[in-house]
Structure 1
Amino acid sequence: MWAKIFPKRFSVLKAFVLLFLFISFLVRLSLFLWAFNEVDKNFSEVLRTFFTGLFFDIGTISFFTIPYLIYLMILPNRWVGSILDKSITFFGFFLGLFIIYFSFLGEFTFWEEFQRRYNFIAVDYLVYTYEVVKNINESYPLPILISILLLLVFSSLYLVVKLGLFKNTFHDKPSFKSKLNGMTPWVLIMIFFSTVVTNQQSEWSLNTYNNELSKAGIYSFFAAFRNNELSYKEFYPNIDLDKAFDVVQADYIKFGDKMLDPGNKSIYRGIHNTDSLAVVAIPNVIFICIESLSGKFMNALGGDQNITPVLDSLANESIFFTNLYATGTRTVRGMEAITLSIPPTPGSSIVKRQNNRDLFTIGEVFKVEGYERNFFYGGDGYFDNMNTYFGGNGFNIVDRGRGFLLDTSINTKRTNIEDSEVTFENAWGVCDQDVYNKVIMEADKAHASGTPFFDFVMTTSNHKPYTYPEGKIDIPSGTGRNGAVKYTDFAIGEFLKMASTKPWYKNTVFVIMSDHCANSAGKGELDVQNFHIPAMIFNAPNGTSKKVNTLCSQIDIFPTLFGLLNWDYSSNLFGYDIFKMTPKEERAFIGNYRKLGYLKGNKVLVLGDQETANFYSWNPLDNSLKALPMDNEFLEESISFYQVADYLYHNDGLKLKQ
């Protein structure tokens, strides 16, 4: 009976399925032990974690079985055991093993970096293979990893041969009905997982680590591939759209902003900062966006590692924001927040989406004041669509191009960082000092022409493989994150020293802020502390230096700068001038590509893509979230900002006004 339902012809396929399930269990167990201090270890929680994982593993392997099952169905019995049959079966088995072992080994490196199973970041990395492969090669002993991979594949292949399973496969000639019986369960499982099951159903726990361990990495990867942009309207809590705009517009009106498109679904408004005694300043502005600099790295924000002496010193000479939060967990999300001054929208960053040109960015405010706008990046700005985004929004591009051309429809200037200007380079680009040298050169040119400039400078050195020029700091290159942070800090110091010798220095404001934290993992839905980043405005026109403890977001920094410069301007930006905020109005937006958080005081509301809304109190001492009864006013305010931001993007409400 058993042979009729599962004929010996399926022996290799059954071996592949069991091998996949066993290896997947070992990977899940290894990651569980890796995160042992973070997971919920209650017996029922652990049991559910592993059984949910098994459920998704079965769904994942069902997709692998279908191509070979189709082959088994259509191959005539007279060809069973032929050279063709053996070649296809051996090759298919080898390829399948290679894919799953490659995937499982990759999960360990991905977990080390993000404490997550594969997600949309892995999808992005698949697109930018040059940077990723080079980064892996510089970060890990690639020959050893490849050798281990091949050893695992051939060992598994040898085991299956020794067990005689290939022999069974090549000598059994079952009836069509018998093969159909063996195929049907897997087809039904695949259809079930394609139409009914979603990756979000693995997220049953309040502990994020348990949720991640409940997932299957490969399944999560393809789920992220399909859902790289999520519709807020379809997946998140909504309120009446007119009501949402009323809430958001009222928030700006109380600051004295004048709505320029009243009665319509818009936040376009006039902002008044000058008075009869105000002096309007037109300084050069250099913004340094630091890769992955968590607030905890700085002594000035409570750290104790002494790896940011330059920034710690600047904190005492700047307008230093001590309670500022990144809106997301990736560089492109930080760029989106800073340039568009917008809360995070679900899915991928607007920087990476197609409808991302001719938007109202902070660059437009600078343009009205006569500034030249430049984007500097030490790698190739093709990565993460940065050049298309910045070039399509009026910035000149200065990068380390490898030959990828800008879209011909983008009318902008592109300047290359030449080989002769490079002293050190790794997978992600040239070292920070080389980028800053280029910034100095371009600033000299702009000053000579009499044109004020706004430079957006994206650093790269604080990124795995954490390599940088030797002999600059007391931590050897490539030994870890702390060394990269200290070199990043050192490079900023050298840049400011060089800049201070230039005639344009006294009339230049330096804005320094991180794009996101070094990691974002946590037990709760959103790990609030892992969004805390440093930000400062140095060399402001009035020489002001003070610590600002106001709760705020990345989106607020440039509206605050425009206020300091006493500019009147038209705005489509969501950010506030921090110095106009009262304690009651303080808030911050935080999120990842699926969870959207709204933080006020020690309260945080998290919106999820299953139309969920959870309300918590946050304890910054242990970074814990405690569930609270829902506050409906808080909920309405949270939904309003996110719903309005998503609506404006999808309905061209972020576009430049004609």
Structure 2
Amino acid sequence: MRSFKSRYAVLFGFGALVLSLSFLVRTALLIWALPQSGLHISDIPAIYGKGFIYDLGVALFFTIAYAAYLLLLPQRINNTRFNRIFTYTGFFLATMILVFSFFAEFTFWGEYAGRFDFIAVDYLIYTYEVIENINESYPLPLLIGGVLLFTALLTWRMARRGIFRNSFQSRTPFGKRLLTFLLLLGVLLLHVFLVSNTWAEKSKNRYAQELSKAGVYSFVSAFLNNELAYDKYYLMEDEDNNFHQLRTLLREPGSQYLENSRSIYRNITDTAAIEMPNIMMVTIESFSADFMDRFGNTQHITPVLDSIAKQSILFTNLYATGTRTVRGMEALSLAVPPTPGQSIVRRKNNENLFTIGHIFEQAGYESTFFYGGDGYFDNMNKYFGNNGYDIVDHKNPNNLVEDNIATTRTSIPKSDIQFENAWGICDEDIYTAAIKSADQKYAAGKRFYDFIMTTSNHRPFTYPAGKIDIASGSSREGAVKYTDYAIGEFLKKISTKPWFKNTIVIFVADHCASSAGKNEIEISKYHIPCILYNVPGQAPREITQMCSQIDIYPTLLSLLHWTYKSKLYGENVLDATYQPRAMVSTYQKLGYLEPGKLLILSPQQKAQCFSWNDAKNEQHPVPMDSSLLKNSLAYYQTAYYLFKNNGMKQ
């Protein structure tokens, strides 16, 4: 680098730095992932080959504006104080951003075992929660200081190698500068038009896909593509054929369709005596089935849930539709399959939808959404508030944005809060708020349906001290055990209430603690528990049929013998005609499960079929199953159609 004496010495030096640091980061992540990745030696060349192309793209994106500056900078200004200050400052800031992004990649990989995606884009939007979370999870002043120090050392090292001196003292003619700029711009344009983030996803191993990518490149790709048009990117079937197939799949005894062929609006009838208990649904943050003893855990960190599971109706083969809280909320409030891109909770035109709350409202219930954090996050308050739910949450005092909602929002008073972290108040405190609300509604003679979203089982895994025998902030296992403890305290308190004997409590996860695995869709990472506790007239039992989050309420309403109108995709899994299936997804991949079978729909009109063995956690490509493909398109394509064409409205 010493001998490279041209105006572009700093630019090429920075490019070499990007490539070198990216190589080191990729190598470190590869070593981290090796024990659980299932990678082979034959995967390594593609990981580093594709990785180099993506890293080159990042270097070009970082430097193209500086290349234009160097092209236009007059020679008389090249060795002036202005250019020196501008160049050193620009180099330092660009390097600092690069170093910080690499640090962030390690934290993101630790949580999701992947490069940046839509989640990282979300985190950029919700800066308060994320910065507070980082501050509580890591020694932020030390990390910032470390980033600044490392950036300074890199800048000093590059200066020692003479790149700044070579650039400032050079006399590069305009013709050579123009040629250099056009070459850089040409390579960048080729990269833009010929390389996409989906190129990394050719590998059958998910870890190979993620390791091939570059974090900054993936972040920009996710930002630009945070919503995917199903009819543009995915395999399509004739719309009428799809709805005919779906209506056949959803048909069950006692149901009658009420509208034209492109609708699933139907009447569900039951002739037995109806039960109308209160419903409190506790949606547990990041709660995998395998945290419980019942599903093989040997740490005994969920004694309460394991105990009540034996006294309740337990779904043992139920799957979350996605990997984010808002995706779980979508499934639990709308009972619809996931559609590509963001959850409906975060989309425009998502008001006045046909929700579970609407069904209860039609029956005379009051619906309330309880959240331990600020419901502005992830558009929760706007979604629930404009779909008939009152809101009870803990408003972030630094958030000056007011939710534009059609219902009442109540902030939890500080006097009722014993502990909070970046994501909100502890689970005990949100249960206190829900109990207080239930007391008031019972006193007023009102039936209630509550959607309670907890937050304690989330990094930084902190909770009130002295509650359990694992120190706060020390581990996920501690957060799980505290979550279970808080549920026990909640049940103790409500068991003394006059309204308890007529109240069902549902315990269900929003999603698993992790979605990482060697497969594109790691099915075991979608397996969640669901417990229906205190159901009137029902003996304890286990429901073993494969099913989805979207099936919980149709099954429960059948147990209660309700007659109601429905636009739900969910089914009563206890009906003799029920065909086991589940929907599992990432932001782009749409998985459709039947026992032993998996079909994945992905962009560029692709569909892949696999056999899968749950016990061995194995997936193997198999020839396309036309019936499986037909069913998957019936669910996913129609869900996209109905939302886009207001078919999910009340």
Question: Does TM-score exceed 0.5, indicating one fold?
Answer: yes
Given candidates 600, 605, 619, the residue that maps to 2:599 is 605
Counterpart residue type for residue 307 of structure 1? I
After TM superposition, list the pairs within 5 Å mapping 1:60-139 onto structure 2: 60-139=58-137
Q: Report the Cα offset of residue 148 of structure 1.
A: 1.7
Shift of 1:195: 2.6
Measured in 1, the distance between the counterparts of 2:638 and 2:387 equals: 22
Q: CA deviation at 1:581?
A: 4.8
Give the aligned residue type for 1:270: N
> Which residue in the other structure is 1:416 paired with?
411
Quick one: which amino acid aligns to residue 573 of structure 1? L
- Of residues 40-49 and 525-534 in structure 1, the stretch that sits farther from structure 2 once superposed is 40-49
Over residues 457-491 of structure 1, what are the superposed CA-to-partner deviations in whole Å (9 max), with x where a residue is unaligned?
00000000000011111111111000000000000
- What is the alpha-carbon distance in structure 2 between the residues aligned to residue 247 and residue 582 of structure 1? 15
Query: Which secondary structure state, in structure 2, belongs to the residue aligned with residue 206 of structure 1?
Result: coil
Q: How does 1:507-526 map to 2 (within 5 A)?
A: 507-526=502-521
Once the 2 structures are TM-superposed, how far is the Cα of residue 497 of structure 1 from its aligned partner?
0.5
Q: 1:279 to 1:318 in 2, by over 3 A?
A: same
In the alignment, residue 127 of structure 1 is paired with which amino acid? I
Alpha-carbon deviations, 1:3-31, whole Å to 9, x = none?
9xx86110011110000100000000000
Aligned pair 1:379/2:373, yes or no?
Answer: yes
Match in the other structure for 1:354: 348
Tell me the distance in 1 between the aligned counterparts of 2:400 and 2:317.
Answer: 40
Q: What is the Cα-based RMSD across aligned positions, in Å? A: 1.4
In the alignment, the residues of structure 2 paired with residue 81 and residue 7 of structure 1 have an alpha-carbon distance, to the nearest angstrom, of: 14
Q: Secondary structure at the match of 2:611?
A: strand
Distance of 1:473 and 1:459 partners within structure 2: 18
| Aligned ranges 1:170-569 → 2 under 5 Å | 170-263=168-261, 265-272=262-269, 274-275=270-271, 278-403=272-397, 404=399, 409-569=404-564
Who is 1:28 aligned against?
26
1:616 paired to 2:613: no
Q: Secondary structure at the match of 1:155?
A: helix
Q: CA deviation at 1:610?
A: 2.3
- Alpha-carbon distance change, 122 to 530 in structure 1, aligned in 2, over 3 angstroms: same
Q: Distance in 1 between matches of 2:177 and 2:98?
A: 25
- Cα distance in 2 for partners of 1:419, 1:409 equals 23
Q: For the residues of structure 2 that align with 1:337 and 1:435, how far apart are their CA atoms? A: 22
Q: Deviations over 1:388-433 (max 9, x none)?
A: 1000101000000125577675221011111111100101000000
CA contact under 8 A between 2:285 and 2:455: conserved in structure 1? yes
Deviation at 1:255, TM superposition (A): 4.0
- Tell me how far apart the structure 1 counterparts of residues 634 and 294 of structure 2 sit (CA, whole Å): 35
Shift of residue 257, structure 1, vs aligned partner: 1.8
Partner of residue 623, structure 2: 629
Once residues 37 and 260 of structure 2 are traced to their aligned partners in structure 1, the CA distance between those partners, rounded to angstroms, is 50
TM-aligned CA deviation for residue 47 of structure 1: 0.6
Letter in 2 for 1:352: R
Aligned to 2:52: 54
C-alpha contact 1:7 1:179 (8 A) present in aligned 2:
no
Contact kept in structure 1, 2:267 and 2:563, CA below 8 Å: yes
Counterpart-to-counterpart distance in 2, 1:575 and 1:365: 14
TM-superposed CA distance for 1:622, in Å, is: 2.3
- Give yes or no for contact 2:37–2:517 (8 Å, CA) kept in 1: no
Q: CA deviation at 1:633?
A: 1.4
CA distance in 2, matches of 1:122, 1:227: 13
Partners of 1:375 and 1:396 within 8 A in 2: yes
Q: State the secondary structure of the residue aligned to 1:38.
A: helix
> Could you tell me how far 1:256 is from its partner in structure 2?
4.0
Relative to structure 1, the CA distance from residue 75 to residue 405 in structure 2 (aligned partners, 3 Å threshold; closer, same or farther) is closer
Aligned length: 648
On the 8 A contact 1:7/1:178 being kept in 2, the answer is no
Measure the CA separation in 1 of the matches of 2:292 and 2:490. Answer: 19
Q: Which amino acid is 1:638 matched to?
A: S
Q: Closer, same or farther in 2 for the Cα pair 1:304/1:40, shift >3 Å?
A: closer
State the 1:325 CA deviation: 0.3
What residue in structure 2 maps to residue 148 of structure 1? 146
Deviation at 1:58, TM superposition (A): 0.5
How far did residue 301 of structure 1 move? 1.7
Cα 1:298–1:581 change in 2 (3 A) is: farther
Name the SS for the 1:36 alignment partner.
helix
How far, CA to CA, are the matches of 1:590 and 1:311 in structure 2?
A: 24
Question: CA separation in 1, counterparts of 2:85 and 2:403?
Answer: 47
Preserved contact between residue 346 and residue 596 of structure 1 (Cα < 8 Å): yes
- The answer on whether the counterparts of 1:388 and 1:406 sit within 8 Å (CA) in structure 2 is no
> Structure 1 CA distance, aligned partners of 2:52 and 2:37?
18
- Please give the alpha-carbon distance, in whole angstroms, between the structure 2 residues aligned to 1:548 and 1:484: 27
Letter in 1 for 2:638: V
What is the Cα deviation at residue 74 of structure 1? 1.4
Q: In structure 2, what is the Cα distance between the partners aligned to 1:409 and 1:225?
A: 25
Rounded to whole Å, the distance in 2 between the matches of 1:376 and 1:216 is 38
The 3 A distance-change label for structure 1 pair 7 and 582 is: farther
- Structure 1 runs not aligned, ≥5 long: none
What code does the residue aligned with 2:375 have? G
3-state SS of paired residue (1:92): helix
Whole-Å Cα distance in 2 between the matches of residues 626 and 408 of structure 1? 47
Q: How far apart are residue 43 of structure 1 and its match? A: 3.0
SS at the partner of 2:47?
helix
Inter-partner Cα distance in structure 2 for 1:524 and 1:540:
38
Structure 1 residues 552 and 420 mapped into 2: Cα distance closer, same or farther (>3 Å)? same
SS of 2:619's equivalent?
strand
| 508 and 643 in structure 1: CA distance in 2 versus 1, 3 angstrom threshold | same
What amino acid is aligned across from residue 271 of structure 1 in structure 2? Answer: I
Q: Can you give the 5+ residue segments of structure 2 that lack an aligned partner in the other structure?
A: none
CA-CA distance at 1:40 after TM superposition: 4.7
* 526-535 vs 301-310, which moves further: 301-310
What secondary structure sits across from 2:598 in the alignment?
Answer: strand
Alignment match, 1:43? 41
Measured in 1, the distance between the counterparts of 2:320 and 2:555 equals 16
Write out per-residue CA displacement over residues 159-186 of structure 1, whole angstroms, 9 at most, x where no aligned residue: 1111111111111121111111211222
Residue pair 1:202, 1:211 contacting (<8 A) in 2 also? yes
The 1:535/1:84 distance shift into structure 2, 3 A limit, reads same
- Aligned partners of 1:259 and 1:201: how far apart in 2? 44
Report if the CA contact (8 A) 2:381-2:405 is conserved.
no
SS of residue paired to 1:35? helix
1:160 corresponds, among 149, 154, 158, to: 158
Match 1:592 to one of 586, 593, 601: 586
Secondary structure at the aligned position of 1:470 is classed as coil
18-27 vs 348-357, which moves further = 348-357
In the alignment, what sits opposite 1:573?
568
Shift of 1:543: 3.6
Aligned residue for 1:579, secondary structure, equals: coil
Instruction: Tell me the amino acid that sits aligned with residue 586 of structure 2.
Output: N
